Amino acid sequence: MSSLATIQKNGNEVSTPRHTTSRNATSLPRLSSWVEDLFESGMGTGFLSNFNTGMTLPAVNIKENAEEFFSEIAVPGMKKSDFNIDVDNKILSVSSERKEDNTTEGDNYTRREFGYASFKRTFTLPDTIESDHISAKYEEGILTVHLPKKEEAKEKPAKRISVS
């Protein structure tokens, strides 16, 4: 036995056949109609149009003490040689680009997998940074950039002035 069911499709109400069993219970829609509805809805096309177009930037922690700033950037799986760190006109740029190409050949198959990863983070440095002495190290997935302050910008301890 068949009846019509009203459903929403692309913002419009549409009547579709609904099949029932002899006990008058409704059955589930066909799998193909679920897939069709998924891709005709905003979710399906929105997902596909944004697939692999976003860029993930690594997380950054910035710490400051009286003598210096430290920037810690979480970039696991990289090598020291993968990083480019530049200072130009008070702009610190940290970037990386890595390409991998693995080809495996066997009895009756060839498999080729390749990957590409890149990022670029830029930071405007305050006037208090001694840009000639910036250094960096990479250890256990964390890139640490050391940004020393100029001597005149360092906090001085309080001192007592006597009255004469």
pLDDT digits (tens, 9 = 90+) for 140-159: 999 999 999 988 877 888 88
Q: Give the integer Cα–Cα distance in Å for 99 and 38.
A: 34
Single-letter amino acid, residue 22: S
| 8 in Cβ contact with 41 (< 8 Å) | no
Listed residue (148, 80, 92) closest to 122, CA to CA: 92
- What average pLDDT does the structure give for the chain? 75
Listed residue (57, 42, 67) closest to 94, CA to CA: 57
Q: Which domains does the chain have, with CATH numbers?
A: 2-50 (no CATH), 60-153 (2.60.40.790)
Burial class (CB in 10 A: 0-12, 13-18, 19+), 51: exposed
Q: What are phi and psi of 111, to 5 degrees?
A: -125, 130
pLDDT digits (tens, 9 = 90+) for 48-76: 433 444 457 899 999 999 899 999 999 98
* More confident: 77 or 6: 77
Q: Give the integer Cα–Cα distance in Å for 89 and 24.
A: 76
Partner residues linked to 53 by β-bridges: none
Tokens of 68: 């210096």
